Each structure stands twice: as C-alpha cells, then as structure tokens.
Amino acid sequence: MNSFLSAQNLKFSYINNIEEPPVKTEVLHGVSLDIKKGEFVALLGHNGSGKSTLAKCFNAINIAEEGKVYSCGLDVSVEENLLPVRQRVGMVFQNPDNQIVATIVEEDVAFALENMGVEPKEIRRRVDEALKIVGMYEYREHAPHKLSGGQKQRVAIAGILAMKPQVVLLDEPTAMLDPSGRKEVMKTIKMLRDEMGVTIVLITHYMEEAALADRIVVVDNGNVVMDDEPKKIFSQVERMKELGLDVPQVTELVYGLRKEGVELPQDIITEDECVEALLELFKEN
C-alpha cells in the first residue's frame, strides 16, 4: 500500500428516507482509485456523475457501503480515525459564503484548530502562517462578507491549511468566481502543490484548470472511465464529448485544424504549446 489515497472497489448509495419505503440510489458502483503522495489530480465528470460523492469518501463524510477507502494510511470507516482523517484530508467547497463560520477572517481560519483543541499560542502561529500562504494576512481582521469571492475562497483554503493537511480536496472551488478570482485561487492551489507538497484533488468543470493537473480521472455514472495524464485524455476529443465533457479551447482548435488537414500534434493542451506548434508550422512552409 504505497498510495496515499486509495479506494478499492468502493460502492456508495444515497438513501432517501423521506419516501416510504426508503429509496436507495447507488451513486458509485465499485470505484477503484489510487492517488500518490504529492500528485495533483483533476477529477472530471458531468453533473451527477458521482465525482463529489467520491471525493467525500476520502475524508469520511461519506462512508463506503462496500469496499475500502484508505486516506493517508488510515481506514476511514473506523470510528476512531474520523477526526485524524479529517485533519489530514481537508476539503474546500464551491460556495465560499457557505463555508465561512466566523465573523472575522482570522477567527474563521482558527476554527478548525479550535475544534482540534490546539493551544492558543500555536493557533495564533498557524493562523498567521496559513493567512500568509494564501496572501490574505493583511485582511485578517476584516469581516468575510466584505471580501471578494476569490478572497473569500482563499480564506476558506487558509482555514483548511491551518490544519496542516496532507491532502486538499477541492470541490469546484472556482465555479462561483469571476475570472480574476479564479486565477487567484488556481495560483494558490498550484503553490500548495509545488511549494508545500500537498496532494491535490481538484473537481472542476473548467478544462483549462484540469490541464494544469498531473493526472486526470474521469468519472461517469459512478465509474472511473478514463485515468491518464492530461495530454492523453484531451487528445481523445470525441470520447470526451461523448462523456458530456469539454476539452480546453486550444485542444478544440487544434482538433478542428487537424480535421481540415493541418499538420499539428494531437496532444496540445496549453496556449503556449499551441503558439509554438503553429510557429513551427509557419517556419516549415
């Protein structure tokens, strides 16, 4: 077991107790997935594919019905592991407004540490550190509702970072942000991985964000259907469309050009690569 997050033949169902008899909907049908330490994985899938459900299995919010889930070597189904797992595997959600608890930025960042029973002096130190990492230290005494969306989301990330997690799960953290807020958050996420070695699992609908990952896992209908590096995933444009997903705009462009007979490599996923390939092509002609 050398993987960091690991799901083995994981099955999960939501049970609707309001109906009589209760209605059971199986969302994950035996997912197996291994994520290595320090990896940056993007989790893709259309709405209702089960990607959020899968992510929530890794921090013991959802407990698997069948199969095993290990996070940082801990079995998440064991009651005593609940808090240790949640401390090691932090989670950031889509709506920044709904995950901020306190009325002052620094108090919110301290929330998790207060729950963990950390000494006040240590809380102070870790709160300041986390706020500096996300670049929100100057705003520590502000009221969260006066911040922009991107800033709020960075505060939410700081609240998770203060726990010193080894993994951060992000469930569409940029979906409600404007382009500049999105950029801020993505920069922060990249920094976490590059400078702090935090393992990242990013759920997103923006293919440009997914292209930054080391690896893309596509979930469809409660099963992992594709699992590879971004270049290999995005070069299968037709397969992605079949799954109701997009590819980055440049990939789409290259795909169209190739169809028209322009000789370009298939695995272009960033703008820079595209520019380079086009320049190369012009030089040749």
Partner 1 sequence: MLKDITIGQYFPGKSVVHRLDPRIKIIITIAFIVMLFVADSFYGIGIGVVFVLGSFLLSGIPFKMMLKSIKPLLPILIFTGLLNLFFISTGDVLFEWKFLRITTGGATTAAFMIIRIVALIIGSSLLTYTTSPIALTDAIERLLSPLKKIKVPVHELAMMMTIALRFIPTLIEETDKIMSAQKARGADLETGSFMQRAKALVPILIPLFVSSFRRAEDLALAMECRCYHGGEGRTRLKQLRTAPRDYVALFTTALFIVLVVLADKML
Contacts of 119 (CB under 8 A, 6+ apart): none
Which residue, 108 or 273, has its beta carbon nearer to partner 1?
A: 108
CB of 128 to partner 1, least distance (A): 11
Task: Report DSSP state, residue 21.
Answer: S
Calpha distance 97→165 (Å, rounded)? 22
CB of 117 to partner 1, least distance (A): 4
Calpha distance 216→265 (Å, rounded)? 20
Which residue, 113 or 218, has its beta carbon nearer to partner 1?
A: 113
Helix extents (H) in the chain: 51-58, 82-88, 105-116, 120-133, 149-161, 179-196, 207-210, 230-234, 237-242, 249-259, 271-284
Cβ pair 90, 167 in contact under 8 A: yes
Structure tokens at 262: 């322009």
Cβ count within 10 A of residue 43: 28
CB of 132 to partner 1, least distance (A): 16
**Segment (H or E) for 70:** strand 66-71
Which residue, 156 or 200, has its beta carbon nearer to partner 1?
A: 156
Coil vs helix vs strand at 60: coil
CB of 161 to partner 1, least distance (A): 11
Point out which residues bind partner 1 (CB under 8 A).
Answer: 59, 61, 83, 86-87, 90-91, 93, 95, 97-104, 106-107, 110-120, 123-124, 127, 143-145, 156, 159-160, 163
Which residue, 165 or 248, has its beta carbon nearer to partner 1?
A: 165
CB of 162 to partner 1, least distance (A): 9
- Closest-CA residue to 64 (of 51, 52, 74, 77): 77
Which residue, 118 or 186, has its beta carbon nearer to partner 1?
A: 118
- Closest-CA residue to 104 (of 153, 149, 139, 150): 139
Calpha distance 155→98 (Å, rounded)? 12
CB of 163 to partner 1, least distance (A): 7
Which residue, 92 or 216, has its beta carbon nearer to partner 1?
A: 92
CB of 183 to partner 1, least distance (A): 23
